[in-house]
Structure 1
Amino acid sequence: MSLVEVRKYKLDLEESWHEGGPRLDKPLRVAVSSAVVKNPFAGRYEPDLLPFMAELRALGMELATRAVAALGGAQAVQAYGKAALVGEDGELEHGAVWHEAGGWAMRELLGEPKAIVPSAKSIGTLGTRLIIPLSHLHAAYVRSHFGAAEMTIWDGPRRNEIVFGLAMATGGRIHARVGGLAEKDVVGNDGLR
């Protein structure tokens, strides 16, 4: 029997045209793809979480595929992040299994980017808002792409659930102008520059 039992999926897509400055020719698009999953370890201590993490790879691929499609394909994605929100009967480590599973899926679909996938995880309850950090997928020093996306499920996570999410964006902050490595100058060999 599978350790991964999905109750629901959610896909959020936002388009931003400006933040008070000039209107963009194309909007910044941010997608958050998430799933509410039964926590197989709720209410008890499980010493071996690796089988759960391995099974979550399929969920990671499902969520990554949905986000990439919503943004118009892998070539459109410039920033990414991931998050897990564990219900009250779980522990933070139950959300940490998403580091490998969620990150792997995005890397697989986006052409093996080298930059670290930023993440957030917390314990929460129904409707908890979790802010997912975003950064450039090829180079961590691209300041313009330090951003955020919100993951919220109105009826989750329940006490015995976990919400897993992936976020992707088609660019950096609108009207970014605080310096740092420019997106056009990224080499992308080491994940930093």
Structure 2
Amino acid sequence: MTSYDIRKTQISVETIWHERGPRLAQPLRVGTALAIIRNPFAGRYEPDLMAFQAELRELGRTLAAELVHALGGNDKIEAYGKGMIVGEDGELEHAAVWHEAGGWAMREILGQPKAIVPAAKTVGGIGTRLMVPLGHIEAAYVRSHFSTAEMTIWDGPRRDEIAFGLVMATGGRPHARIGGLAASDISVHDGQR
């Protein structure tokens, strides 16, 4: 038995062929997976959120597995991030539980990549649009993979809900050309370079 109730989930995949430059041989695919849950702490202060965070690991596993499947498998994923939107009767700390639960789940399914999982969180109402940062899964300094994915759902989160989301991409920005560490040059394997 969990302390949360899922109202709905959503998987969304964008297929990008170009950004006004040459057409890509293989399109970039950017996906979001999110769940809208009832916030068990809406309208009140809860001093201990650790049990809630632990329970959310299963939700993270489910969303991560569905998103990887939608994008074509583990070997296709090059970038990731996570996002959270807390409805107005909650607090930002209710979103922070997803840092461990969502990030841990993505790392588990992707074979323990080293780079930090970028994140964005906010408090907002129905239809809030959150731009979630993306970064390369193995090295944070790979500039070509600095990007964003939009996380939104038309009817959530409601005042007493939380939207937890994961984002993944099959590559970096189309036509990336600003230098920096290339994905093919990752050599230190420390999560940075």
**TM-score per shorter chain, which class?**
over 0.9
In structure 1, the partner of 2:125 is 125
> 1:114·1:188 contact (CA, 8 Å) conserved in 2?
no
TM-score by length of structure 1 reads: 0.99
In structure 1, the partner of 2:79 is 79
Shift of 1:188: 5.4
Partner SS for 1:81: strand
Partner SS for 1:97: helix
In structure 2, the partner of 1:22 is 22
Q: CA RMSD in A?
A: 0.7
- Give the residue type in structure 1 aligned to 2:159: R
In structure 1, the partner of 2:157 is 157
Map 1:43-192 to 2 at 5 A. 43-187=43-187, 189-192=189-192
Shift of 1:186: 1.1
Shift of 1:4: 2.0
> How many Å separate the matches in 2 of 1:42 and 1:192?
37
Give structure 1 stretches of 5+ with no counterpart: none
In structure 1, the partner of 2:31 is 31
* Aligned length, in residue pairs: 193
> How many Å separate the matches in 2 of 1:140 and 1:159?
35
Give structure 2 stretches of 5+ with no counterpart: none
- Give the residue type in structure 2 aligned to 1:170: T
In structure 2, the partner of 1:40 is 40
TM-score by length of structure 2 reads: 0.99
> 1:126·1:155 contact (CA, 8 Å) conserved in 2?
yes
The answer to which of 143-152 and 182-191 deviates more is 182-191
